[in-house]
Amino acid sequence: MLRNKPIILYLIFIFLISCIEEYKPIIEVKDTNKYVVYGCVTDNEGYQTVNISYTTNTIFPQYIPVSGCNVQLSDDLGNTFQLEESGSGEYKAWINQSYLNIGTSYKIDIITPEGIEISSDYDIMPDCANLDSVYYLIEDIPTTNSDKPIQGIQFYTDFSGSDHHSQYYKYTIEETWEYHAQYPNQGFYNGTLTRIDPPDYSKLICWKTQIVPEILILSTNNLSENKYFKFPLHYVTSTAEKLVFGYSLLIKQYALSESTYFYWSKIKNNIMNEGGLYDTQPELIQGNLYNETNPNEEILGYFYASSVKTKRIFIEEINELTLTYNYHCVDHILKYGLRSIHPGDWPAYILFIEDYPYKWLNDNCVDCTGRGGTNIKPDFWPY
């Protein structure tokens, strides 16, 4: 869980003979229900978005959106844009390309339903270098067993910038992959045996899209040139079904101002340092949002401007990598006929062999949508 402000936690370890009690942090009431604001304006024409929510405790964390806010985005040229709530604390405004320019600075102003006024600093939109290439290399990761390393592919990206481009970048990765159920739907049993002929193939093939949950940032400030080659993105193992039938990456390279880069750098360091008792204490992270009504009440989060470059790649087959994967399909031979299926498991999918009900299949065997994907092929899918 991202934490923008370290909360003083009193760690009490009660040592008994051969026993350590579970530690549960105590979060003071004053450290909950603070406003959290995140937003970004980019140089891409379209909806620009700001999200507003409350903090919660760590015992039962949840997303608590703040509705009914008045949100305005403005630039340093005198233009203002009213954001409308689209649901769940999300506020949007469609902004035409002519208002989204490199070198222009942007800020947001918010009035909450309680009358609290929140403002951000201006953040200048820097110029983004071209995203030259995205590629992968087959690489092994060593394990404690030297004979059995983790096998998979490591993704990388290159870019070449000039002096007028930003020296600070953040990357996001959206991955999409195709996966299959193992059988078409031939029929089911719910007290009555129903045969589907011809079999239904509509839920045999699915696609799933998700964001890779990593903070990936890069600075060339200390390099002799504004270039970087072989910047590591993420790793996909050979046991992942993602690589079997087709895999796609959409990489977005966000150019950041120096202050925005250091904000994300501190966030990343805090996450990496939260592993154990002797780790470095989380750093106090000051965002660029302020409570104008009650200056002593902090606002968590950040608002920034960015120009963006994108690149999509597709992988259909990796001949040099042996893939081992799980279909997530569980079947049971019907040794004692349909009476083997308990009514609590109805409806149960059936695999027929020569018109005879041979196996009872779990849902994943015939319905790929049950694993979170969709059987509607994405418009960008080439295969």
> Concatenated DSSP letters for 268-329?
HHHHHT-SSTTSPPPPP---SEEESSSTTS--EEEEEEE-EEEEEEEE---TTS--------
pLDDT exceeds 70 at position 184 = yes
pLDDT at 317: 87
Compute the distance between CA of residue 9 and CA of residue 31 in angstroms, rounded to an integer.
Answer: 11
Compute the distance between CA of residue 185 and CA of residue 179 in angstroms, rounded to an integer.
Answer: 16
Rounded to 5 degrees, what are φ and ψ at 281? -65, 140
The Cβ of residue 358 has, within 10 Å, a number of other Cβ atoms equal to 14
pLDDT exceeds 70 at position 252 = yes
Tell me how far the alpha carbon of residue 164 is from its chain's centroid: 31
pLDDT at 60: 75
pLDDT in tens, 327-336: 889 999 999 9
Contact 184, 201 (CB under 8 A): yes
Instruction: Choose among 357, 61, 383: nearest CA to 349.
Output: 357
pLDDT in tens, 347-360: 999 999 988 999 99
Region at 78 (left for phi over 0; alpha for psi -120 to 50; beta for the rest): left
Q: Per-residue pLDDT averaged across 316-325, rounded? A: 89
pLDDT at 147: 83
Q: Per-residue pLDDT averaged across 295-303, rounded? A: 94
List C-alpha distances in Å: 130 to 161, 166, 328: 7, 11, 40
Could you state, in order of their start, the residue ranges of all structural domains in the chain?
A: 15-128+255-307
With 0-12 / 13-18 / 19 or more C-beta atoms within 10 angstroms meaning exposed / middle / buried, residue 51 is middle
**Which run of H or E residues covers position 46?**
strand 46-54
**Token pair recorded at residue 303:** 């608002």
pLDDT band at 236; cut points 50, 70, 90: very high
pLDDT in tens, 18-58: 333 343 444 444 556 899 999 999 999 999 999 999 988 76
Q: Per-residue pLDDT averaged across 53-81, rounded? A: 91
pLDDT band at 10; cut points 50, 70, 90: very low
pLDDT band at 8; cut points 50, 70, 90: very low
pLDDT at 32: 63
Contact 152, 321 (CB under 8 A): yes
pLDDT at 9: 33
Q: Per-residue pLDDT averaged across 58-69, rounded? A: 87
Q: Supply the mean pLDDT for the chain.
A: 89
pLDDT exceeds 60 at position 11 = no
pLDDT at 19: 39
Q: Per-residue pLDDT averaged across 211-224, rounded? A: 96
pLDDT exceeds 60 at position 262 = yes
Compute the distance between CA of residue 21 and CA of residue 14 in angstroms, rounded to an integer.
Answer: 6
**Token pair recorded at residue 227:** 């270039």
pLDDT band at 374; cut points 50, 70, 90: very high
Q: Per-residue pLDDT averaged across 133-141, rounded? A: 95
pLDDT band at 62; cut points 50, 70, 90: confident
- % of the chain with per-residue pLDDT over 90: 78
pLDDT in tens, 95-129: 999 999 999 999 999 999 999 999 999 999 999 99
Look up tokens 């270039």; give the residue: 227
